[in-house]
Amino acid sequence: MIKDALEHFGKFVAWQPQIYKKPENRSMYQKEIIRQMYDIGIGSLGIVFLISIFIGAVTSVQFYYQMEGTLIPPYYIGYVVRDMTIIELAPTITCLVLAGKVGSNMAAEIGGMRQKEHIDAMEIMGVNTSAYLVMPKTVAAVLVIPILVCVAAILSLLGAYVASVPTGLFTAAEYTRGVRSFFIPYNVFMMLVKAVVFAYILTSVSCYQGYFVKGGSIELGAASTRAVVFSDILILLSDYIIAVLLTA
For residue range 79-136, list pLDDT tens digits in order.
Answer: 888 988 999 889 999 999 999 889 999 999 998 888 888 888 888 887 888 888 899 9
* 18 within some domain: no
* 5 within some domain: no
- Start-to-end C-alpha separation, the chain: 33
Burial-class residue 138 by CB neighbours within 10 Å (0-12, 13-18, 19+).
Answer: buried
Q: What is residue 1's predicted lDDT score, i.e. its pLDDT?
A: 67
* 149 within some domain: yes
Mean pLDDT of the chain: 88
Q: Are 105 and 231 in contact (CB under 8 A)?
A: no
* 16 within some domain: no
pTM, to two decimals: 0.91
* 44 within some domain: yes
- List b or e across 57-90, with b for residues whose CB sees 16 or more CB atoms inside 10 angstroms: bebbbebbeeeeeeeeebbbbbbbbbbbbbbbbb
Is the C-alpha dihedral spanning 167, 169, 173, 179 positive or negative? negative
Taking residue 92's Cβ as centre, other Cβ atoms within 10 Å add up to: 20
* 14 within some domain: no
- Candidate ranges 27-31, 111-115, 141-145; pick with highest mean pLDDT: 141-145
* 13 within some domain: no
Which region holds residue 103: left if phi is over 0, alpha if psi is between -120 and 50, else beta? alpha
What range does the domain containing 233 cover?
28-247
* 6 within some domain: no
Q: Per residue in 11-21, pLDDT tens? A: 888 888 888 88
Q: What gap in Å lies between CA 34 and CA 43, rounded to an integer? A: 13
Tell me the three state secondary structure of residue 165.
coil
Q: What is residue 198's predicted lDDT score, i.e. its pLDDT?
A: 95
* Domain tally, the chain: 1
